[in-house]
Amino acid sequence: MADLKLTNIAKTYGGSVDVLRDINLDIKTGELVVFVGPSGCGKSTLLRMIAGLEKITGGELQIGGQVVNDVPPAQRGIAMVFQSYALYPHMTVRDNMAFAMKLAKKPKAEIDAAIANAAKILQLEDYLDRLPKALSGGQRQRVAIGRSIVRDPKVYLFDEPLSNLDAALRVATRIEIAQLKESMPESTMIYVTHDQVEAMTLATRIVVLANKGIAQVGTPLELYERPENEFVAQFIGSPAMNLLAGEITGTGAQTTVALEAGGKVVSAAPSQASDMGLKVNVGIRPEDMVSTDGTDYAFEGKVNFTEALGEVTLLYFDKVGNNDAVIGKLPGIHADLRGTAVRMAAAPEKVQVFHNGQSLYYR
């Protein structure tokens, strides 16, 4: 397998429309790196540039130490799994998986061994003689992945491979991909998705793309617990992190913020004496909020609507200060809170503080 190194990668259409710029990223052998971001942020375009299906406008792409900007896709040692299965309907599973190797005129014994190995990994041994129409959506996607495995590529690329599956099949196939990665620890994989659950459960590291560049790179836990900016803070997590306007009133190893909504919070984010009076946004995830009867609380609001989801209840508050929407998430069922005033608080280590969109942790 191989490392990838992206240096100042850029993509421009028509010489004037920037899609991506200044993309700098190192991907090590054995990593499963997931690209996430809003629609139109360029994540699939970046994947296609790595595959060689889109021309790189600027910068340098290295695979295994070799610059491949002008290397044809077939010679990059990459296999790609698309949203659609792209299987030949008249060919059996075995023939679909063998097709590329037959074109490359590989010996029959080598083809048979590669198919047997891939079928074992993907649990397709009982389906090798079936046509695609006799398979479920999840099985077809496994065949598409198997077609990549038999080629023994340097890098696997996945472009939203589960987006065509229903919810139950997505969960099952996501688990299968995770198990596949565990069975191939030295394989390097890059995975594009818009699904946060896929990103958080599959990734070694996540690359959040926004505003034509990289907003943050980190492990799933790093992005969730220590977002570098407000965009990542609100993009990672569901429901999105609440942002409450406030002003710093105490500094040091812990920061005290008086909120416009009337409450106050203490955050583990460090600050300096010069930050006193600084206008900030306080970030609190819905799941980190707790109801309190005490005088030390972040805000007090009337619960306008509740959603009882069984294991948790989402609380939607009326407008709190200058914030149009604040959401809380409490364990259990709390439908009886609708229409009542509730005080919410959060532990200091769960409270984020942002100034000009950037976290005080990363000034």
What is the structure's pLDDT at 192? 95
Q: Do 27 and 176 fall into the same domain?
A: yes
pLDDT tens readout for residues 218-241: 999 999 999 999 999 999 998 999
Query: Phi, psi (5° rounding) for residue 65?
Result: 85, -5
Examine the pLDDT at 323 and tell me if it is beyond 70. Answer: no
What is the structure's pLDDT at 1? 58
pLDDT tens readout for residues 27-71: 999 999 999 999 889 999 999 999 999 999 999 999 999 999 999
Q: Do 133 and 31 fall into the same domain?
A: yes
The band of 321, judged by pLDDT with boundaries at 50, 70 and 90, is low
Examine the pLDDT at 184 and tell me if it is beyond 90. Answer: no
Domain boundary among 177, 211, 233: 233
Among 164-173, 191-200, 222-231, 316-325, name the one with the lowest average pLDDT: 316-325
Q: Do 244 and 213 fall into the same domain?
A: no
pLDDT tens readout for residues 64-113: 999 999 999 988 989 888 878 788 999 999 999 999 888 888 899 999 99
Q: Do 209 and 299 fall into the same domain?
A: no
What is the structure's pLDDT at 14? 81
Helix 93-103 vs helix 137-149: angle between axes, to the nearest 10 degrees? Answer: 20
pLDDT tens readout for residues 124-174: 999 999 999 999 888 888 898 888 888 888 899 999 888 877 888 788 888
Q: Do 255 and 145 fall into the same domain?
A: no
The CA R_g of the chain, rounded to the nearest whole Å, is 24
Q: Do 105 and 188 fall into the same domain?
A: yes
The band of 190, judged by pLDDT with boundaries at 50, 70 and 90, is very high
pLDDT tens readout for residues 247-304: 999 999 999 999 988 899 999 999 999 999 999 999 999 999 998 988 889 888 899 9
Q: Do 122 and 189 fall into the same domain?
A: yes
Give the number of domains in the chain. Answer: 2
What is the structure's pLDDT at 37? 94
Here the CATH number for the domain that contains residue 67 is 3.40.50.300
Q: Do 190 and 291 fall into the same domain?
A: no
Q: Do 101 and 171 fall into the same domain?
A: yes
Examine the pLDDT at 324 and tell me if it is beyond 70. Answer: no
Tell me: cis bond preceding 153? Omega within 30 of 0 counts: no
Q: Do 188 and 75 fall into the same domain?
A: yes
Cβ-count burial of 40 within 10 angstroms (0-12 exposed, 13-18 middle, 19+ buried)? exposed
Q: Which residue range forms the structural domain that includes residue 158?
A: 4-233
Here the CATH number for the domain that contains residue 283 is 2.40.50.140
